[in-house]
Amino acid sequence: MTVPATVAELVRQFRANGRIVIVGASLAGLRAAEALREEGFTGSLTIIGDEPYEPYDRPPLSKQVLKGWVPADHTTLPRLREVNAQWRLGVTATGLDRAAKQVRLADGEQIPYDRLLIATGTRARQWPNPDEAALDGVYTLRSRDDAAQLQKALAAPPSRVMVIGAGFIGSEVASVCRELDLPVTVVERGSAPLVGALGGVIGEIAAEMQRDHGVDLRCGLGVSSLEGDSGGHVRRAHLSDGTIIDADVVVASLGSIRNVEWLEGAGLASGFWGVGCDAGGRAFDINGVVTDSIYVAGDVARSPHVLYEYQFLAMEHWDNAVLGAEAAAHNMVNLEPHYRPHLLLPGFWSGQFGLNIKSVGVPPFGDEIVFTQGSVKERHFAAAYGRRGRIVAAVTFDHGKWLEYYGKLIEQSGPFPPPPPGWDQPPDMKPIPAEFPQPGVPTAIPDVVLTGHDPSERAAEFRPRRR
Amino acid sequence: MRIAVDLNRCQGYAQCVYLAHKDFRLTGQEALTYEPNPDDERRLQVERAAAACPVQAIVIDRLDGAKGSATS
Ligand SMILES: Cc1cc2nc3c(=O)[nH]c(=O)nc-3n(C[C@H](O)[C@H](O)[C@H](O)COP(=O)(O)OP(=O)(O)OC[C@H]3O[C@@H](n4cnc5c(N)ncnc54)[C@H](O)[C@@H]3O)c2cc1C
Ligand code: SF4
ipTM of the complex: 0.90
Give the number of the ligand closest to the Cα of residue A87.
1
Give the number of the ligand closest to the Cα of residue B18.
2
| Mutate which of A316, A322, A362 for ligand 1 pocket (most atoms within 8 A of beta carbon) | A316
Mean pLDDT (chain B) is 87
**Ligand 1 centroid, distance to A33 Cα (angstroms):** 16
Nearest residue, CB atoms, B71 vs list A59, A60, A89: A89
Specify the pairing of strand A368-375 against strand A347-352. unpaired
Mean pLDDT (chain A) is 93
pLDDT at A1 over 90: no
Closest chain A CA to residue B36: A75
pLDDT at B66 over 60: no
Taking residue A342's Cβ as centre, other Cβ atoms within 10 Å add up to 23
Instruction: Over range A403-430, report the average pLDDT.
Output: 87
Q: What is the pLDDT of residue A467?
A: 42
**Domains of chain A, first to last:** 7-59+77-121+259-338 (3.50.50.60), 125-256 (3.50.50.60), 354-433 (3.30.390.30)
Residues of B in contact with A63 (CB under 8 A): 33
Give the number of the ligand closest to the Cα of residue B27.
2
Q: What whole-number distance in Å separates Cα of residue A287 and Cα of residue A461?
A: 8
Give the number of the ligand closest to the Cα of residue A92.
1
User: For an interface test with A, which of B1, B6, B7, B47 has the most A Cβ atoms less than 10 Å from its Cβ?
Assistant: B7
DSSP string, B15-66: HHHHH-TTTEEEETTTEEEE-SS--GGGHHHHHHHHHH-TT--EEE--STT-
Residue range A212-261, pLDDT digits in tens: 999 999 999 999 999 999 999 999 999 999 999 999 999 999 999 999 99
Tally: H helices and E strands in chain A: 9, 31
pLDDT at B72 over 70: no
Residue range A256-287, pLDDT digits in tens: 999 999 999 999 999 989 999 999 999 999 99
Q: What whole-number distance in Å separates Cα of residue A286 and Cα of residue A288?
A: 5
pLDDT tier at B68 (50, 70, 90 boundaries)?
A: very low
Q: What is the pLDDT of residue A445?
A: 53
**Residues at CB less than 6 angstroms from ligand 2:** B 5, 10-16, 24, 32, 53, 55, 57-58
**Of all protein residues, whose CA lies closest to atom 17 belonging to ligand 1?**
A58
Name the residue among A254, A256, A258, A250 with its Cα closest to residue A277: A258
Contact map slice: B 33-52 vs A, CB within 8 A: 33-37
Residues of B in contact with A79 (CB under 8 A): 2, 61-63, 66, 70, 72
- Is the minimum CB–CB distance between B66 and chain A shorter than 8 Å? yes
3 state DSSP class of A466: coil
Give exposure, A386-413, as e/b (b: 16+ Cβ within 10 Å): bbeebbbbbbbbbbbebbebbbebbeee
**Domains of chain B, first to last:** 2-61 (3.30.70.20)
User: For an interface test with A, which of B26, B30, B58, B69 has the most A Cβ atoms less than 10 Å from its Cβ?
Assistant: B30
Which range, of A67-81, A374-388, B53-67, averages the lowest pLDDT? B53-67
Residues 6+ apart with CB under 8 A from A93: A23, A48, A50, A103, A104, A105, A106, A120, A262
- Is the minimum CB–CB distance between B14 and chain A shorter than 8 Å? no
| Residue B12 to residue A401, Cβ atoms within 8 A | yes
Residues of B in contact with A77 (CB under 8 A): 2, 4
| Residue A318 to residue B7, Cβ atoms within 8 A | yes
Count of pairs with CB atoms under 8 A, one residue in A, one in B: 99
Nearest residue, CB atoms, A84 vs list B3, B66, B72: B72
Residue range A140-149, pLDDT digits in tens: 999 999 999 9
To the nearest whole Å, the CA of B29 is away from the closest chain A CA by 7
DSSP string, A257-308: EE--GGGTTS-BSEETTEEEB-TTSEEEBTTSPEEEEEEE-GGGEEEEEGGG
**Of all protein residues, whose CA lies closest to atom 4 belonging to ligand 2?**
B13
**Residue A135 DSSP code:** S
**Residues at CB less than 6 angstroms from ligand 1:** A 23-29, 48-51, 58-59, 61-62, 92-93, 119-122, 141-142, 169, 259, 262, 298-299, 316-318, 321, 348-350
Q: What is the pLDDT of residue A58?
A: 96
Q: What is the pLDDT of residue B11?
A: 86
pLDDT tier at A424 (50, 70, 90 boundaries)?
A: confident
| Residue A77 to residue B30, Cβ atoms within 8 A | no
**Ligand 2 centroid, distance to B38 Cα (angstroms):** 16
pLDDT tier at B69 (50, 70, 90 boundaries)?
A: very low
Q: What is the pLDDT of residue A462?
A: 73
Q: What is the pLDDT of residue A302?
A: 95
